[in-house]
Chain A
Amino acid sequence: MAKKSSIKIRAKAKNGVVTVKALISHKMETGLRKDKKTGKVIPAHFIEEVVCEHNGAPVLEAEWGVAISKNPYLSFKFKGGKAGDTVKLSWKDNTGKSDSLETKVK
């Protein structure tokens, strides 16, 4: 892949519980801000949904609004995972763009 992924993800298992921490690089534009030079409203551009899968089965499905901060951070936990399992995170924004990244549980 020539382009760097927009996602950074880490998953760590401890006593059967996997903690996932992810950072997504996205501007999360609300559609309320104005361009200071032109005075025009900057159109909304934000992530609408985030899905996380553990070994191919969904463990988290999130619906987001514009009030999630720029370059979103997300952390959550799930049971029944162990080192070596795969965790995959994908997102889709309101313009139809998307990205995903898979990692191994440590």
Chain B
Amino acid sequence: MQRRHFLKNTMATGAIALAASSGLLVPGSVLAAWNKKAFDAKDVQSALKGAIGTELTEATDKIKIKAPQIAENGAVVPITISSTLSNVKSITILSEKNGTPLIAKFNLKGKSEAFISTRIKMGKTSNIIAVCESGGKFYSARKEVKVTIGGCGG
């Protein structure tokens, strides 16, 4: 498996190099290779472990998840995560019952505020988990969203 990943990554990097040399600017050089293991994980624990290096998070009320109580269309669920924690370094979003729970990780650099708004897909009714990294610790909050039509597969 490891070797296969290696090959795949090398090929992808090659493509980036090609794009870069043809004058396109790509973010590839800024980030390390895409975290395939975490995004492929089938349960919340291993997804968390892959994304942030630990599965232990402290529940807090300082993270606010704004999401609809009932989402009619699971393919497009608007969510907003904000936090009053100081110095938030990253925000990770998971949907507990998706086939692969990890949705996205946002790394905030220096001046960014703890605020992210986006739209996600949800397979079925599930908790949304938001994890914020602050001062070397991980804090989490969750909120249930009811989904009437799933957005994965279909």
Contacts and interface: CB of A to CB of B under 8 A. Distances in A.
Given A48-B34, A62-B107, A94-B34, 14 more contacts: A32-B152, A49-B27, A61-B27, A63-B107, A65-B104, A67-B100, A68-B103, A76-B115, A91-B27, A96-B12, A96-B18, A96-B19, A98-B16, A100-B24
Interface of B: 12, 15-16, 18-19, 24-28, 30-31, 34-35, 39, 75-78, 80, 95, 98-100, 102-113, 115-122, 151-154
Interface string A85-106: 0000011101111101000000
A78 B104 CA distance: 19
Nearest to B107: A61
Interface in A59-77: 59-70, 72-77
Interface of A: 17, 30, 32-33, 48-51, 54, 57-70, 72-81, 90-92, 94-98, 100
A49 B34 contact: yes
Contact of B31 (A32, A61, A78): A61
A77 B112 contact: yes
24 contacts: A32-B152, A33-B153, A51-B27, A57-B110, A59-B110, A60-B109, A61-B27, A63-B106, A65-B104, A67-B152, A68-B121, A69-B77, A74-B116, A74-B118, A75-B115, A75-B116, A75-B118, A79-B112, A92-B26, A98-B16, A98-B24, A98-B25, A98-B28, A100-B24
Given A51-B30, A51-B31, A63 B104 contact: yes
A98 B16 CA distance: 9
A92 B27 contact: yes
A76 B112 contact: yes
A69 B75 contact: yes
A67 B107 CA distance: 18
A78 B116 contact: no
B109 A61 contact: yes
A66 B27 contact: no
Contact of A60 (B24, B26, B107): B107
Contact of A78 (B80, B99, B113): B113
